[in-house]
Structure 1
């Protein structure tokens, strides 16, 4: 490949990619940003409509959501109000989808590393305790000290939507951090509801729920028709939680955490390809159904459910929830009472100040003590904005108001506090994010390598103590990365032991469908000490990187094929590639190949002579 020395200009963050260059797709990692933004806009619109409706005609607003609905099956009847149907049933679906995404992150994503998962978990626990203490200090003597649960929970719906609307330019790791934090927060908050705010608790139905959850876990072993079984057991678990007196939205999270998530298995993918080939040769309904089922089953049910439910949650469920819960009357009398109420101020300070101090403070202490792994891009100023955003307490906060406070006047004061805190938190987060972006001018983003070279983690070719370093972010299916590999070979021949070369992954999954699989295959080969040999084989035949080709190459290189195939589906391999992708995003690497020469981003031609000149110049 050393003869492939066509001169191209490397990616420049200040210009769009030239023809042939492709932007790095992080859609596999940060999915549906536009959907989240649109959903957040609908959520805000529904909130405004609810407040306006309640203040124009509170009677019609109240009567609609108090409309009784019910289901009758033989002699068995279930009745609830429309408001409860939204809060208890539809919101369980929302918490289910959030639980699915976090389950994926802990299983095969960014949070497979305990050192990295530790940071959001600690922040979430602090975010439960500190706001409650702030509320108790402020509301002491009011008679409503037991309403401390109002301030413990961050509203996941608004958090995700607001981050899409006002978040910083580089949002990848911050979103993963906040999502993990929010779900741990929700689990803690819903558990506290079950323990502290459940008056009619009946433990017997929880035994049925436990059996249903065991059944959900075992369903993964069924050969087919798993979907109807999941649905049936999920309904049983939800009703069991409802009957026990525990808030049934907790059922959604519990079910999601038991749904399996995995990387596509090579054999299942090959089977799907064979069935599609059979259908192409002899198209008929039987082969079409078999091919469709085979393709569907090759993807984990976790990912399929996320894709199926996400639009309904963003565009229907969350706006309905806001419409049903945000209708607070804002008359002069209510606002005046709220301004003088220790309950209102306890909620405002608990959510705004308490959440911020808890999240930012715990992250600051962990970083100071060098405990946990933050990852490039998850800086303290970003966490400060995220900590402020955690002060949006809406869903669980409004729910606990009705549980903890009986007096209607005090309920109104508490609701005013929740809404006021949410607005302040949103504005404060916006300011902090804008300051964070301002201190990082666009032209400076990505000029330097954020994560230093670590021989224990990175793929290094050359002496570890070499004075000159090139780090490349690339894609094994990219034609320009292939050309760049020839340039790198020439540079290595010229400089010898003066150079160490490091490859990091930035697969263009939107344009190269096999690029992510190739990157993970290279990592699986690295587990057997053959990263660069396998990488050369990928570059040598870029057109054939299907699952069969990937395993065939491992055998040709005399790797342990059984171990190789096992490593391909391991969460550690997936996490390594995803971590590189997030590093690339944090440095605004939008096209490949992108080079960092002695820690500085290389802008200009990347032929061998140009790279050598850049290396020599940076070494002066």
Structure 2
């Protein structure tokens, strides 16, 4: 017996309100603007805390030891290590997944589309590095040459989102593509220039973990939780090898499948068929075995509509954006300024980073793009003007998270590290402010042009 639609119970008002609330929360969690603002708030709290009467508590809390023990095995590290080396691995996991997605079907999947962002990204790395080295001659200072070469994706895209929807979507896509290539270069820099003496036993351990991941994928294990054990092998192996353990996140991200598990029936067709079957069923059989089986199939079909790389990235995004990165900012942005008297060497580090981020990034990105377009190697994408490209260049100067991360690898001397952190903060904030000002001018000009056209 087929029941008419009018006999189906209507959802209660509380259920409707709850559904709307959850939808709003989900939408909120995926707005980059909020993520960028939260990063700024975390950095501000860290600065205020580190320069308050509770400054000692700020310094001490990150040295608190956290341990995991299992039988005779014990893993004990400081809270600072847990944030910078373990939680940030998940950040780099998402970076790896973003790179994998872009290479598969994004802006980097087609050579013609990828040429300009790749060239611009290299310009945005080379020129800031040269500017930093021009200010710093001593080898110990020059070790920080890579600090101003990075771009903070969340912060940069967040500032762009704050400018509103009037900004052309092509600019956002170009900024994302450039920032992802920037991340690839940053990962290579970390691996090649900021890794300690290599231990081959570590590489063997990481290799075992990688083989386990490939084996799991081969036999069709789809649960992300199942990959924690082989992922841990990769992480510990990279740590043992002398390279930075967060590189394990990039490796695992690049290994995440970009295609859904093969099914006898396309997930969308299966979804439509089961929905049709459920629509024609008697409401009284709702709790039956057959009904539950169909609902399970429906759940599988819904899941397989998206490839694993997209599913895992979407699941991790709110945790990374709203917990991991703010924690990283809180743990690393606190610089005591109250009694700081900087030496000439420290001032050169600060100045080099600020000038490299604020001037070097946009000049490198726009300058090399202009040269390549003049040489007819590539062309400006549709929807992007030169003023729009300058906006991308200014926002790319927001190094923040990645620049802080590289600074901690580059400088072991706390005086130089604090100077580098201050340079990153000043440079990133200045680049963000200039980006907002330029963005407002750009929008006003676009509005005037549109009025003339209409």
| TM-score under structure 2 length normalisation | 0.83
Picking from 112, 116, 119, the partner of 2:109 is: 112
* 2:307 equivalent to 1:300: yes
Counterpart of 1:377 (choices 379, 383, 396) is 383
Give the SS at the match of 2:237. Answer: helix
Query: How far, CA to CA, are the matches of 2:416 and 2:149 in structure 1?
Result: 18
SS at match of 1:117: helix
Cα contact 2:260–2:304 (8 A) shared by 1: no
CA change 1:215–1:405 in 2 (3 A) is: same
CA 1:161–1:88 in 2, change beyond 3 Å: closer, same or farther? farther
Match for residue 480 of structure 1?
Answer: none
Q: Which residue of 1 aligns with 2:450?
A: 444
Q: Give the structure 2 partner of residue 37 of structure 1.
A: 33
Q: State the 1:150 CA deviation.
A: 1.8
Secondary structure in 2 matching 1:72: strand
More helix by share: 2
| Residue 297 (structure 2) aligned to one of 290, 301, 308 | 290
Aligned to 1:328: 335
How far apart are residue 196 of structure 1 and its match?
A: 2.1
Count of residue correspondences: 417
SS of residue paired to 1:110:
coil
Quick check: 1:105–1:112 contact (8 Å CA) kept in 2? Answer: yes
Other structure's SS at 1:80 match? strand
How far, CA to CA, are the matches of 1:167 and 1:362 in structure 2? 28
- 2:202 aligns with 205
CA distance, structure 2, for counterparts of residue 190 and residue 110 of structure 1: 19
| Residues in 2 aligned to 1:375 and 1:32: alpha-carbon distance in whole angstroms | 30
Residue equivalent to 1:271: 270
Deviation at 1:445, TM superposition (A): 7.4
Report the 3-state secondary structure (helix = DSSP H, G, I; strand = E; otherwise coil) of the residue aligned with 2:431.
Answer: helix
Which of these residues, 67, 74, 93, is aligned with residue 96 of structure 1? 93
Please give the alpha-carbon distance, in whole angstroms, between the structure 1 residues aligned to 2:293 and 2:119: 52
Q: Cα deviations across residues 293-342 of structure 1 (Å, max 9, x unaligned)?
A: 232123211221222122222222221111111111122534x6579721
Structure label with greater radius of gyration: 1
Q: Give a deviation string over 1:464-506, Cα, whole Å, max 9, x none.
A: xxxxxxxxxxxxxxxxxxxxxxxxxxxxxxxxxxxxxxxxxxx
1:122 maps to: 119
Secondary structure, counterpart of 2:377 in structure 1? coil
Gaps of 5+ in 1: 1-30, 448-600, 602-620
Structure 1 position 341 matched with structure 2 position 341: no
Question: How many angstroms apart in 2 are the aligned matches of 1:79 and 1:200?
Answer: 23
The worse-fitting range, judged by mean Cα deviation, of 52-61 and 117-126 is 117-126
Distance in 2 between residues matched to 1:304 and 1:381, nearest whole Å: 36
Alpha-carbon distance between aligned partners in 1 of 2:417 and 2:344, rounded to the nearest angstrom: 10
RMSD: 2.9
Show structure 2 runs of 5+ residues with no match.
Answer: 1-26
Superposed CA deviations along residues 135-185 of structure 1, whole A, max 9, x for unmatched, are 111112485222212222222232232222247722422222222222222
> 1:139 is matched with which residue: 136, 141, 145?
136
Q: Which has the higher contact order (CA 8 A, sep 6+)?
A: 2
Which shows bigger deviation, 389-398 or 165-174? Answer: 165-174
TM-score, length of structure 1 as denominator length: 0.62
Closer, same or farther in 2 for the Cα pair 1:219/1:68, shift >3 Å?
same
Deviation at 1:53, TM superposition (A): 0.5
Matched, 1:356 2:362: yes
What is the CA–CA distance in structure 1 between the aligned matches of 2:234 and 2:401, rounded to whole Å?
22
